Homo-oligomer: A and B are copies of this chain.
Amino acid sequence: MKKHAQSICVFAPATVANVSCGFDVFGFAVDEPGDEVILTLREEKGVFIKAIHGDGGKLSLDPDKNTAGVAAQSFLKAFASDAGVEIELFKGLPIGSGLGSSAASAAAVLFGLNRLLGHPADGKDLLHFGLQAEKVACGSAHGDNVIPSLLGGFVLIRSYDPLEIYHFPIPEELFCTLIYPNIEIETRNARELLPTSIPLQTAIRQWANTAGFAAGLCLSDYQLLSRSMVDLVAEPVRAQYIPKFYELKDTAQKAGALGSSISGSGSTVFALCRGKDTAKRVCDAMSSLYQNASISFKSWISPINSEGPRIVNLESKNQ
């Protein structure tokens, strides 16, 4: 029994940020893929990353240079400065895939530490630590990955100062198809591609679409949602880095998707679909396109995840 109280295994979900027209303001969590961490309290003070699996050796074990480590250190500094924790990280999420890989690791650690240490932090604290970790990982404290990964759901970040998050109602039949072409894109670099100013007329079209998209979610109006999935700002700039992006988009639409765009800063492409069958059909069609072009890829189908991180049975993990 003592061992259980000293260790915890947590899964935190992948997230789609920059959801079409909602660049920097819309984000949602999916059921899979995701990252898992095993956290174990230890006598020695501080944060220790014991091992990272599934990253191909890309991530640092130095807790200052790893989003999971940064998140854990912020947490301990604020709430348990005498505590020590060991982290074992299982990357289910490809790095640089635009699926919120750094955010999911941070979310899993923050959720797990808070459980292990008897809930000293509230939700706001966790979000704050999560944003700090994102700043280290991506160069900007954007929250459209770490917030849905920590809280689940489909969120609007209406304001950063003060931080204000709104959870949209999730239309019952909304599913997401993800396809990742095994290409790593650094968020930091992808952000630098964007212009610092945009034409007012472009901005007006974009905010008409975010309003339409929001109304579509709130009223389960799938057609309005579909028509509003137009991104005039980030997608046109970033599409060139994703193999066969416009063909993929066209394929998704023909297979019945409500719309598709780049997840985060790519290279994953997401499609929103009405119903699991359509999501499957869209996934098959996009997969065929990549197969025929000999592009290696991974794909997933998922509803919108509304719970955020969850505890995983440690014993099943150790088997």
Partner-B contacts on A (CB < 8 A): 21-26, 156-159, 164, 166, 168-169, 194-200, 203-215, 217-219, 224, 227-228, 233
Complex Cα gap A217–B219 (Å): 11
B196 with A200: CB separation less than 8 A: yes
B208 with A158: CB separation less than 8 A: yes
Contacts of A205 in B (CB 8 A): 159
Given A158-B228, A164-B227, A206-B203, residue A22 in contact with residue B211 (CB < 8 A): yes
B166 with A215: CB separation less than 8 A: yes
A200 with B233: CB separation less than 8 A: yes
Contacts of A219 in B (CB 8 A): 169, 218
Complex Cα gap A196–B204 (Å): 11
**Least Cβ–Cβ distance between A226 and chain B, in angstroms:** 12
Contacts of A224 in B (CB 8 A): 158, 166
Contacts A23-B204, A25-B211, A210-B211 supplied; 9 other A-B pairs, CB < 8 Å:
A25-B204, A158-B211, A158-B227, A203-B207, A203-B233, A208-B210, A211-B211, A214-B218, A215-B217
Given A166-B215, A214-B214, A215-B218, residue A200 in contact with residue B194 (CB < 8 A): yes
Number of copies: 2
Complex Cα gap A219–B200 (Å): 29
Contacts of A217 in B (CB 8 A): 215
**Least Cβ–Cβ distance between A131 and chain B, in angstroms:** 16
Complex Cα gap A166–B223 (Å): 11
**Least Cβ–Cβ distance between A248 and chain B, in angstroms:** 24
Complex Cα gap A158–B211 (Å): 8
Contacts of A199 in B (CB 8 A): 196-197
Partner of A211, one of B156, B195, B197: B156
16 A-B pairs, CB-CB below 8 angstroms? A23-B204, A156-B208, A156-B211, A157-B208, A158-B227, A169-B219, A194-B200, A196-B199, A197-B197, A203-B203, A203-B207, A211-B214, A212-B214, A214-B218, A218-B218, A218-B219
Contacts of A158 in B (CB 8 A): 208-209, 211-212, 224, 227-228
Contacts of A23 in B (CB 8 A): 204, 207
B198 with A26: CB separation less than 8 A: no
Complex Cα gap A208–B233 (Å): 14
Given A214-B214, A215-B214, A219-B169, residue A159 in contact with residue B208 (CB < 8 A): yes
Complex Cα gap A197–B201 (Å): 8
> Closest 8 CB pairs between A and B?
A218-B218, A207-B207, A211-B214, A203-B203, A214-B214, A25-B208, A210-B211, A207-B210
Complex Cα gap A199–B158 (Å): 17
Complex Cα gap A207–B207 (Å): 4
Complex Cα gap A311–B51 (Å): 77
Complex Cα gap A215–B168 (Å): 8
Contacts of A26 in B (CB 8 A): 211
